[in-house]
Amino acid sequence: MDILKKIQDHREQEEELKWEGTFSEYLDLLKERPYLAQSAHSRVYNMIKSAGVAEEHDHKRYKFFDEDIYGLDEAMEKLVEEYFHPAARRLDVRKRILLLMGPVSGGKSTLVNLLKRGMEKYTHTDEGAVFAIKGCPMHEDPLHLVPNHLRKDFQEEYGIRIEGSLSPLNTMRVETEYGGRIEDVLVERIFFSEDKRTGIGTFSPSDPKSQDIADLTGSIDFSTIAQYGSESDPRAYRFDGELNKANRGIMEFQEMLKCDEKFLWHLLSLTQEGNFKAGRFALISADELIIAHTNEAEYRSFIANKKNEALHSRMIVMPVPYNLKVSQEERIYEKMIRESDIRDVHIAPHTLRVAAMFTILTRLKESKKASIDVLKKMRLYDGEILEGFSDVDVEELKKEHADEGMSGIDPRYVINRISSTIIKKELTSINALDVLRSLKDGLGSHASISNEDKERYLDFISLARKEYDEIAKKEVQKAFVYSYEESAVTLMDNYLDNVEAYCNKAKLRDPLTGEELNPDERLMRSIEEQIGVSENAKKAFREEILIRISAYARKGKKFDYQSHERLREAIQKKLFADLKDVVKITTSTKTPDEQQLKKINEVVATLIDEHGYNSSSANELLKYVGSLLNR
């Protein structure tokens, strides 16, 4: 379908959604669909829930955040359960300002944007529809038209409780335009749009000293003041501040704590009574979610100032820490690269993963448990299963430091280093070593890294480098084995047949000659020695494996070489040990003979076809591994 046709279709769909009627017709709608009258907070909560909720080990994962926010499931769960849910039920927290607190580039703005864009879409659905008094610059809730003394009756009839009073402007309009007949007041369906300044607003402070409250609450309209004769005529006032425009929806308050404290005092009544003052008018009821964000340092200095006490108690602070999972960090980089102008550069496999390892290491705090070093912690947090540790251990680890994830290297730094490497060297392909080098070189000029941290970070660069060395060796060795998986399976089957015969004191039969053979002790030992199983321990080890196999069989599961972690490691090491010399010689020779050349070409082809390299990154990898093996 061409784009013009799509535009036309879109316009037609928008037309179809439109609705306009009198207040009494709107009441008919409410009879059938009382949820249309829900508050802004409730609508946001329902939007989040409507994307689905997954229950995972005692935790809820709100899928709404899945697409854009990675690795923060628990922070999002807390945000929903401790703010959005109670706020939707009209508990007092909804009047408070939601303050997201987290380190730089930790995803705060991304989160707010997700909510804003989400609401724009949600108001186009049936469940998320919003209705407002027509022609009102603040899209006022039509139910405010119901006079106070009748609201109790209204609640009995409709089951809806009305909050907030009719704004000065609409009070006047009912008189002048509708002759006091509220049932005739026109109501329309509105659709949130930040561009059109409907239901979504963003307030960004300018110079704190000269900040004008009009930006928030509107100002006198000097062009019409002559017409209406008085400053206190609401028709001579422009209700076009961000608080006005965001009514019924969301207002983002950027850099809130950078504002002058006197300016923030204007927000006191808003956070207490749910209304704000504009010009010389009676208070205006606000039905909107106010989200601000800040970093920890700014927040600390804010609460240290006694003058801010009143406001402080009217904010709900929710932490948005850094992600602490390597695999999720990798996804963050992938996303940022997709959105950038370096997306066409070839990034060798494992590059982003290794960068992510470094980043996560800088964010982790040392565990008090002696048995857990940072690398182990990094793996456990990423959901790896390590022998001797359970989910309970991981939960305990997370509880050790409340402020974990509030410091360390931010994702933007990593992406900036990657792009600057690419641009400076005019590279068309980069690998993990390029990136680690660049991350290291940049540490000196990173504004917020102390010398002490720098030392630690340099250690983490080496740790990540060592991890990469292991990954690189494995990758090349695997590519050398002709069909790695098949070889591993064959070796394992062979081993298990022998172990079974050994434990049952039985013989094996040679498949070719039919001859009876004793279990092949040399073969079994050559595998077991790879993982340090001693002569004395071999019997127990073999029996344990047989027990494991029968346990699998009882559950109807197939035991394969992936089922037993240590056995898998032993098989892999054995395969690699047999190959070591070939790999070493082939990858490091300067003048390969014909056969070596053939092998190199084969390996490069495997790396390209099966592991995502291109020819330059595959050749670089081979060279590097050659140098590693010859150390």
What are the φ/ψ torsions at residue 516 (nearest 5 degrees)?
A: -85, 135
Helices (H) and strands (E) in the chain, counts: 28, 18
- Beta-carbon contacts of 47 under 8 Å, excluding residues fewer than 6 positions away, are 64, 118, 119, 122, 128
Q: Does 494 bind ligand ATP (CB under 6 A)?
A: no
User: C-beta of 549: minimal distance to ligand ATP in Å?
Assistant: 42
The binder of ligand ATP chosen from 110, 165, 193, 420 (CB under 6 A): 110
Contact 270, 286 (CB under 8 A): yes
C-alpha distances in angstroms, 600 versus 63, 582, 595, 610? 46, 11, 9, 15
Query: Which residue number is nearest to Mg ion in terms of Cβ?
Result: 109
Pick between residue 219 and residue 295 the one whose CB is nearest to ligand ATP. Answer: 295
**Counting contacts by CB under 6 A, is residue 567 touching ligand ATP?**
no
**Residue 167 touching ligand ATP (CB under 6 A):** no
327 belongs to the binding site for Mg ion (CB under 5 A): no
> Min. distance of Cβ 113 from ligand ATP in angstroms?
8
CA dihedral 21, 22, 27, 28 (to 10 degrees): -50
Nearer residue to ligand ATP within complex by CB, 258 or 307: 258
**174 lines the binding site for ligand ATP (CB under 6 A):** no
Give which of ligand ATP, Mg ion, none residue 102 binds (C-beta under 5 to 8 Å, depending on kind): ligand ATP
Tell the smallest beta-carbon distance from residue 330 to ligand ATP (Å). Answer: 11
* 526 touches ligand ATP by CB under 6 A: no
For ligand ATP (CB under 6 A), the number of binding residues is: 19
Q: What is the DSSP string of 195-260?
A: TTTBSEEEE----TTT--THHHH-EE-TTTHHHH--TT-GGGEE--SHHHHTTTSEEEETTGGGS-
412 near ligand ATP (CB under 6 A): yes
Q: Is the separation of the CB atoms in 408 and 103 below 8 Å?
A: yes
How many residues touch Mg ion under the rule CB under 5 A: the total is 1
Regarding 295 and contact with Mg ion (CB under 5 A), the answer is no
Nearer to Mg ion, 200 or 435 (CB): 200
- Shortest spacing between CB 339 and ligand ATP, in angstroms: 7
205 near ligand ATP (CB under 6 A): no
Check binding of 488 to ligand ATP (CB under 6 A).
no
Give the distance, in angstroms, between the CA of residue 62 and the centroid of all CA atoms in the same chain: 11
How far CA 275 is from CA of 243, 246, 310, 517, in Å, comes to 10, 13, 16, 90
Should residue 110 be labelled a site residue for Mg ion when binding is judged by CB under 5 A? no
Strand pairing partners for 315?
Answer: 97
Query: Cβ of residue 298: shortest distance to ligand ATP, in angstroms?
Result: 10
User: Does residue number 279 form part of the binding site for ligand ATP (CB under 6 A)?
Assistant: no
Report in angstroms how near the CB of residue 307 gets to ligand ATP at its nearest: 25
User: Which residue type does 113 have?
Assistant: N
Helix (H) or strand (E) holding 586: helix 565-588
Say which entry of ligand ATP, Mg ion, none residue 533 contacts (CB below 5 to 8 A, set by partner kind).
none
140 by DSSP, 3-state: which?
A: coil
Work out the angle at residue 383's Cα, subtended by the Cα atoms of residues 380 and 388, and round it to the nearest 5 degrees: 50
**Under rule CB under 5 A, residue 619 binds Mg ion:** no
Q: Record the tokens describing residue 250, joined without a space.
A: 């969301």
Asked whether position 109 contacts Mg ion by CB under 5 A, the answer is yes
**Residue 292 binding ligand ATP, by CB under 6 A:** no
Is 113 among the residues that bind Mg ion (CB under 5 A)?
A: no
Residues between 48 and 107 with contacts to ligand ATP, criterion CB under 6 A:
68-72, 102, 104-107
Q: Which two tokens stand for residue 401?
A: 């430091």
Instruction: Return residues touching Mg ion (CB under 5 A).
Output: 109
Which residues would be at the binding site for ligand ATP (CB under 6 A)? 68-72, 102, 104-110, 295, 323, 332, 336, 411-412
